[in-house]
Amino acid sequence: MKIDCLVAEIGSTTTVVNAFNGIHTENPTFVGQGFAPTSVLFGDVTIGLNQAIEQLKQCLAVSTLEIDETFACSSAAGGLKMSVHGLVHDMTVKAAREAALGAGANLHYVTSGVLNYFDLEKIKSLKLNIILLAGGVDYGETKTALENAEKIANLKLSIPVIYAGNVQNRDAIKAIFKHHNQEKYLFIAPNVYPRIDHLDVIETRKIIQNVFEENITKAPGMEKVRELISGHIIPVPGAVMEATNLLYQILGDLVTVDIGGATTDVHSVTEGSEEVKRKLISPEPLSKRTVEGDLGLYINKDTLIETIGKDKIIKELKIDNDQLSQLIRDYQSIPNDDQLPLTELLAYHALSISMKRHSGRFINVYGTSGMTKLAEGKDLTAVKYFIGTGGALSRLKHRLSIIERYLNEKDEMVLKPLSTVKVLIDNQYIMATLGVLSLKYPEASIKLLKASLAINE
């Protein structure tokens, strides 16, 4: 059977392959899907990838597949592991974090100010994929970024370092990395915080994804993946953000939630309301991603259960402590009928907690003229569409009820989506893969996204 494009999503727990035809026509189609456990623990993700392809063949009832192009997104082997280092935490560091998270990174370390001995030891121990250096508005403070560049270059880690700080430092930083024979690992990006209260993260996100694609095959377990993939390879969260940005062009303000086995990621694209914008104490990017590493449904289920509290889970599920212990002991990445109520409860709490962390809020500030109501963080009150993706929100039987329960939560201080928002489900579980595909075929990807989300307009 001939396939135009095969796109693999190599997740932390599951590898999914999606087949598409008619990519070059007015009517692209989703052909089929195959699943397998991700095999990173065996040191070779292509084992799980090939198993997923074999399952796809079985679903299509064919013995062979003739594939023109292959693409992938991956969060296996730890995904895109980054650290971020800037000048002031609420300014350049925040901007650099937004750039890294929006590109699909998992942030393992964030610092502000000059790096000390303990920071450097931490950086050395983390086995990072990329380091992002920022600091100083354009033609502002220069010393911190230069000192940090010198210290990082001197570590000789031989990993990509992206500089996205004060433009005045660029030549000096190039010279520093050349002096330490690390110049081939240095990449220069536009300043993520070029002037006060202005974020410029889009170009840096692209550079991060390009650097990730060039270096991902060096990660443990990923060495052979390039042999099977002919096109782009980007982080899974970055792929979901690409799809979310694409949908923003046709739908307007929206938020996407991806509840996975290891993390829960929230992606929003909205400028917020004019009323809240006038009260914001610091700028927010148009597109924002937050990743909650303690809110996964499988790898991090124990942390999530601890966050919720066992007593609360027992009460909501109407079971006793022994029954809960048995459910946890037998828990699987793909739950059976007995485990589904627990999985759905965990999914609801992962959704609720992650959205609270992603959403901004009103704050009361007291001054000489009395109390003033201001706002901080991302304003989601203007969001028109709420999109559920990932295994949980694409596949669980009561996924709509889970989302509706969250939307009906009341908290006037939180800048959350209104309960009247329209809910869309990634029914075919292809949003991340279409984010990758959109880098080459945006028009076909939009049509396929609309089909999966049941958008008829």
Q: What is the pLDDT of residue 217?
A: 62
> Helices 301-308 and 310-317 sit at what angle, rounded to 10 degrees?
80
Q: What is the pLDDT of residue 78?
A: 63
On the CB side of 315, how many CA atoms lie within 13 Å of its CA?
Answer: 5
Q: pLDDT (tens digit, 9 = 90+) per residue, 405-452?
A: 999 999 999 999 999 999 999 999 999 999 999 999 999 999 999 999
Q: pLDDT (tens digit, 9 = 90+) per residue, 109-119?
A: 999 999 999 99
User: For residues 95 and 118, which has the higher predicted lDDT (pLDDT)?
Assistant: 118
pLDDT for residue 104 is more than 80: no
pLDDT for residue 171 is more than 70: yes
Give SS3 for 34. strand
Q: What is the pLDDT of residue 220?
A: 59
Name the amino acid, one letter, at 261: G
Of 39-53, 126-140, 190-204, 352-366, the poorest mean pLDDT is in 39-53
Q: What is the pLDDT of residue 225?
A: 78
Q: pLDDT (tens digit, 9 = 90+) per residue, 21-75?
A: 999 999 999 999 999 988 876 778 888 899 999 999 999 999 999 999 999 988 7
DSSP for 255-288? Answer: EEEEE-SS-EEEEEE----HHHHTTBSS---SEE
Contact 433, 239 (CB under 8 A): yes
Mean pLDDT, rounded, for 17-22: 97
Q: pLDDT (tens digit, 9 = 90+) per residue, 250-303?
A: 999 999 999 988 889 999 999 999 999 999 988 899 999 998 888 989 888 999
Q: What is the pLDDT of residue 13?
A: 77
- CA triple 157-161-162, angle to 5 deg: 175
pTM: 0.85
For each of the domains in the chain, give its residue range(s) and CATH number, in order of start: 2-77+219-228 (3.30.420.40), 80-218 (3.40.50.280), 251-429 (3.30.420)
Of 77-81, 88-92, 355-359, 384-388, the poorest mean pLDDT is in 77-81
Total length of the chain: 457
Mean pLDDT rounded to a whole number for the chain: 92
User: For residues 431 and 13, which has the higher predicted lDDT (pLDDT)?
Assistant: 431
User: For residues 10 and 18, which has the higher predicted lDDT (pLDDT)?
Assistant: 18
